[in-house]
């Protein structure tokens, strides 16, 4: 339904601007993701400050996703039940508080424990706000809108990768944790306070049992299963990239740490453009399909990964820069497509539950990726690991194409009905 034809909202005589809503939830996304996406740029500080090995450093990123994997379905269900405004505030309090607590003691186990809680809060970051995007934007503009919102993640990577290592160099990694915690609290509390939530989106009076039944039904939906399979493969690639791109540049290409971090920041900047571009292309070039551009993304990631695997010591900086920009654009640019695809399957009222199911599997892959990829690197070396990475990404093309067919058939069936 077009935005001007929305039902009147007596609690808010002035119509809410969709771009105001988008700005608020994008800001919350930036604050919430600041620490998670910048973890890769902090690996050298963890190794030096905690005296750990690479596989243990990979677990620092993985553990943040354990809580998200366990709680994303619950977070989606709670967002359907209580609305975006309450959930974005609650998740911000959990995440910000956990990061501040993690900064209190310099201990590996202590850090993992609090980052686990941070991950639990992070589970609600994507579902909280999905209702608003579906509600305020017409279908032809949702890809771009969700792409803009999801730009908050790589944008957080740009800011965090520039600022947090500088803070860590002066105050150790705990100083960076404390800063990220405070910024998370401010971003989420601000979005919750300023968002004038429509009455229709304040949650539905359904029992927990009814919401669970809905989620179980979604988990059997062929469209969601196929879209999730491609998202799982791309998620593995994204989080392996976040954890080990910088280390690959340092240990295989022999670049200084400062140069490697700079290339990581460049990749995050390219990811911002990628999320905007893939959303725009899905709306304009692919006729609103979210699955077909995901298939194209898988192909590009695979080709770029093979190119990266071929690089070694003495590689010109311009070549590494081109690879960093290309990987950032693709390996992090896809996520908004999956999010809007999941949300559209659920529709305006049940997008949270559909997102919860889809993102649970997506984050599960992100959870195992850093540790597994780190083990492959230790066993076979960086070049072989990135070649296997490319092969895996190519496999993601198949379920994406099948998802496109299933979604088209469902659309035809709705028209006939």
In a domain, 391, yes or no: yes
Confidence (pLDDT) at 114: 92
What's the per-residue H, E or C state across the chain? CCHHHCCCCCCCCCCCCHHHHHHHHHHHHHHHHHHHHHHHHHHHHHHHHHCCCHHHHHHHHHHHHHHHHHHHHHHHHHHHHHCHHHHHHHHHHHHHHHHHHHCCCCCHHHHHHHHHHHHHHHCCCCCCCHHHHHHHCCHHHHHHHHHHHHCHHHHHHHHHHHHHHHHHHHHHHHHHHHHHHHHHHHHHHHHHHHCCCCHHHCCCCCCHHHHHHHHHHHHCCHHHHHHHHHHHHHHHHHHHHHHHHHHHHHHCCCCCHHHHHHHHHHHHHHHHHHHHHHHHHHHHCCCCCCHHHHHHHHHHHHHHHHHHHCCCCCCCHHHHHHHHHHHHHHHCCCHHHHHHHHHHHHHHHHHHHHHHHHHHHHHHHHHHHHHHHHHHHHHHCHHHHHHHHHHHHHHCHHHHHHHHHHHHHHHHHHHHC
Q: Which domain holds residue 289?
A: 13-197+210-416
In whole angstroms, give the CA distance from residue 273 to residue 151.
Answer: 8
Average pLDDT per consecutive 10 residues, the chain (417 residues; last block may be shorter): 41 59 88 84 77 71 75 73 82 92 88 90 80 75 77 80 86 88 92 78 61 66 85 90 88 89 86 84 84 93 94 91 94 84 71 70 76 86 92 94 83 59
In a domain, 340, yes or no: yes
Number of Cβ atoms within 10 Å of the Cβ of 306: 16
Confidence (pLDDT) at 64: 81
Confidence (pLDDT) at 8: 40
Confidence (pLDDT) at 218: 64
In a domain, 54, yes or no: yes
Which CATH number fits the domain that encloses residue 383?
1.20.1250.20
Q: Exposure string (b/e) for 188-217, b if CB count within 10 Å is 16 or more?
A: bbbbbeebebbeebebeeeeeeebeebbee
Q: Which residues contact 416 (CB under 8 A, 6 or more apart)?
A: none
Confidence (pLDDT) at 276: 82
In a domain, 5, yes or no: no
In a domain, 159, yes or no: yes
Confidence (pLDDT) at 13: 39
Q: Exposure string (b/e) for 317-341, b if CB count within 10 Å is 16 or more?
A: eeebbebbbbbbbbbbbbbbbbbbb
Confidence (pLDDT) at 384: 92
Spacing of C-alpha 75 from chain mean position: 15
Confidence (pLDDT) at 12: 43
In a domain, 1, yes or no: no
Check if the beta carbon of residue 245 is closer than 8 Å to that of residue 130: no
Check if the beta carbon of residue 32 is closer than 8 Å to that of residue 92: yes
Confidence (pLDDT) at 4: 40
Query: Domain tally for the chain?
Result: 1
In a domain, 4, yes or no: no
In a domain, 203, yes or no: no
Confidence (pLDDT) at 49: 72
Residue carrying structure tokens 């305020």: 136
pTM: 0.69
The pair of three-digit structure tokens given for residue 169, joined into one six-digit string: 């160099």
């Amino acid at each position: 339904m077009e935005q001007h034809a929305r039902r009147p909202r007596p609690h808010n005589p002035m119509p809410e601007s969709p771009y105001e809503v988008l700005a608020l939830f994008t800001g919350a996304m930036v604050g919430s993701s600041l620490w998670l996406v910048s973890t890769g740029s902090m690996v050298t500080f963890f190794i030096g400050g905690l005296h750990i090995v690479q596989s243990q450093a990979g677990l620092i990123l993985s553990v943040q996703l354990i809580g998200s994997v366990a709680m994303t379905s619950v977070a989606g269900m709670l967002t359907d039940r209580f609305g975006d405004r309450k959930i974005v505030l609650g998740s911000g309090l959990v995440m910000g508080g956990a990061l501040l607590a993690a900064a209190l003691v310099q201990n590996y186990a202590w850090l993992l424990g609090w980052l686990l809680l941070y991950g639990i809060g992070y589970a609600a970051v994507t579902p909280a706000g999905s209702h608003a995007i579906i509600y305020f934007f017409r279908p032809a503009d949702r890809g771009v809108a969700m792409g803009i919102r999801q730009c908050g993640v790589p944008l957080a990577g740009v800011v965090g990768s520039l600022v947090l290592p500088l803070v860590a160099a002066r105050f150790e990694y705990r100083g960076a944790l404390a800063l990220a915690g405070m910024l998370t609290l401010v971003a989420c509390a601000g979005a919750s306070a300023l968002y004038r939530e429509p009455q229709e989106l304040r949650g539905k009076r359904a029992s927990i049992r009814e919401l669970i039944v809905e989620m179980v039904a979604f988990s059997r939906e062929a469209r969601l299963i196929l879209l999730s399979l491609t998202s799982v493969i791309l998620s593995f690639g994204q989080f392996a990239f976040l954890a080990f791109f910088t280390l690959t540049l340092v240990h295989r290409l022999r670049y200084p740490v400062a140069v490697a971090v700079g290339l990581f920041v460049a990749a995050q900047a390219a990811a911002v453009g990628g999320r905007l571009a893939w959303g725009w292309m899905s709306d304009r070039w692919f006729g609103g399909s979210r699955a077909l551009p995901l298939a194209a993304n898988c192909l590009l990631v695979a080709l770029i990964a093979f190119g990266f695997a071929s690089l070694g010591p003495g590689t010109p900086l311009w070549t590494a820069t081109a690879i960093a920009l290309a990987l950032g654009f693709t390996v992090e640019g896809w996520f908004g497509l999956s999010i809007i695809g999941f949300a559209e399957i659920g529709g305006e009222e049940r997008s949270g539950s559909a997102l919860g199911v889809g993102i649970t599997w997506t984050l599960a892959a992100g959870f195992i990726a850093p540790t597994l990829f780190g083990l492959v690197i230790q066993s076979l070396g960086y070049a072989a690991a990135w070649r296997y990475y490319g092969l895996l990404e190519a496999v993601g093309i198949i379920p994406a194409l099948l998802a496109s067919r299933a979604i088209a058939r469902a659309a035809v069936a709705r028209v006939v009905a």
